Amino acid sequence: MKEYRSLNINKGVRGLLFQEFTRMAVTASLCIFAEIQLYLLISRSGKNFLIDSLWISFLAVITIFLFSFYYTFRSSSLVKKQTDDLSTYVTQLRRGKWKERLHWQDENEFSIIAEDLNALAEHIEEQVDTLQRLAEEKSILAQQAQTAAAIEERQKIARDLHDSISQQLFALTMLSSAALKGERTREDLLDSLNEISKISAQSQLEMRALLLHLRPIQLEGESLSDATIKLLRDIQQKFQIKCQASIDEVPPLPQAVEEHLFRIIQEAITNILRHSGATHLKCQLTERGDSIYVYIADNGMGFQLDSAKAGSYGLSTMKERCEEIGGIFTVRSIPEKGTYIEVLVPIKRGEYIESN
């Protein structure tokens, strides 16, 4: 546990106020004494003792008031400056700048708070590093489990093919065979053809859904930047939406961090295609200082963040993925104007390059 240092009274905030008050009292006393001596020198007689006393008292009050105002303003300004420095540093910590440190020149109560905030920032930085390492270990375990789950996945695909596509193909065979046999009226043939058309369309939808399920969501050996560019190019070709991309080449990252970031990008773009009705999509991936920054926005219909419908957009999943790697997830949406998300993940380049 941190041990607090005992401060000399001349170095603390109370000492500062005590010194300022002492200066004020001494200065005011000297000024009042000088005023009294000056007034006695210029006074011609002592007959108006009451009036002289009132004037001296009035001058003393004015003098004390002026010096009190000056030293109070000076002391409060010093305290406010130190408080503002602490507030600015706390704001930097809230924005994820864990590497920033607060340097304090004076030794007082504020310097103790500054040291505690620096220790807190260092602790948070260590926790972020631990979270990212755990995410990396989790990714390795997930790869091991993926091999074991492959057989189960194949069996599930076989069941889906048998229960949907196979049954529909069998129904198409039976209908087409029945249409070719025997005497059929024109109305019966049209009914059969309509039924065949419906089943064919349904089979096509089922096949597309199955292909979407089978589409790999791993990076497959590509860098995060290359995979993002490939994803946006694929979206541009297959969907009626304009993509504006600003993808920089980011430094090598642990596999778990890259996979989480890529899945967040995938999930965000999928939400835009499914729910927003947008015609324009913007995606930015870049390095900002010691962090990876992702920005995805659209010009769609938007939504209220506190509405029940917002829960169906996968926002909680994206936020959980971001927090698992020590990042900060932000989402903003305005109805009828659009939505954007921001992801800021701190990195340690030296360790990441070594791990890759």
Q: Is the pLDDT of residue 127 over 80?
A: yes
| 341 and 233 co-located in one domain | yes
Tally of domains in the chain: 2
Residue 47 binned pLDDT confidence (cut-offs 50, 70, 90): low
What is the overall mean pLDDT for the chain? 75
340 lies in some domain: yes
| 231 and 349 co-located in one domain | yes
Report the distance separating Cα 134 and Cα 145, nearest Å. 16
Most confident of 44-53, 158-167, 209-218, 265-274: 265-274
**pLDDT computed for residue 213 by the predictor:** 46
- Determine the longest span between alpha carbons in the chain, in angstroms: 145
Please return the burial class of 159, using the count of CB atoms within 10 Å of its CB with bins 0-12, 13-18 and 19+: exposed
Instruction: Please say which residue of 67, 100, 124 terminates a domain.
Output: 124
- Collapsed DSSP state (helix, strand, coil) of residue 151: helix
Instruction: Please say which residue of 70, 99, 124 terminates a domain.
Output: 124
Tell how strand 291-298 and strand 338-346 pair up.
antiparallel
pLDDT tens, residue by residue, 177-206 = 777 776 677 777 788 888 888 888 667 645
| 230 and 339 co-located in one domain | yes
Most confident of 7-16, 110-119, 206-215: 110-119
The CATH code of the domain that includes 323 is 3.30.565.10
| 227 and 332 co-located in one domain | yes
Q: Is the pLDDT of residue 216 over 70?
A: no
63 or 97: which leads in pLDDT: 97
CB-based contact 330:299 (threshold 8 Å): no
Instruction: Please say which residue of 79, 108, 124 terminates a domain.
Output: 124
pLDDT tens, residue by residue, 52-83 = 666 666 666 676 676 666 666 776 677 777 78
Report the distance separating Cα 169 and Cα 181, nearest Å. 19
- Tokens representing 221 are 């050996």
160 lies in some domain: no
| 229 and 118 co-located in one domain | no
182 lies in some domain: no
DSSP 2-43: PPPPPPPTTTSHHHHHHHHHHHHHHHHHHHHHHHHHHHHHH-
237 lies in some domain: yes
The pTM (predicted TM-score) of the whole model is 0.49
**pLDDT computed for residue 8 by the predictor:** 37
CB-based contact 336:301 (threshold 8 Å): yes
5 lies in some domain: no
**Lowest-pLDDT choice from 32-46, 272-286, 334-348:** 32-46
Q: Exposure string (b/e) for 125-144, b if CB count within 10 Å is 16 or more? A: beebeebbbebbeebeeeee
309 lies in some domain: yes
165 or 321: which leads in pLDDT: 321
91 lies in some domain: yes
**pLDDT computed for residue 178 by the predictor:** 76
**pLDDT computed for residue 190 by the predictor:** 81
355 or 237: which leads in pLDDT: 237
| 356 and 225 co-located in one domain | yes
- Residue span of the structural domain in which 104 resides: 13-124
195 or 33: which leads in pLDDT: 195
212 lies in some domain: no
Instruction: Kindly report the number of other CB atoms within 10 A of residue 311's CB atom.
Output: 9
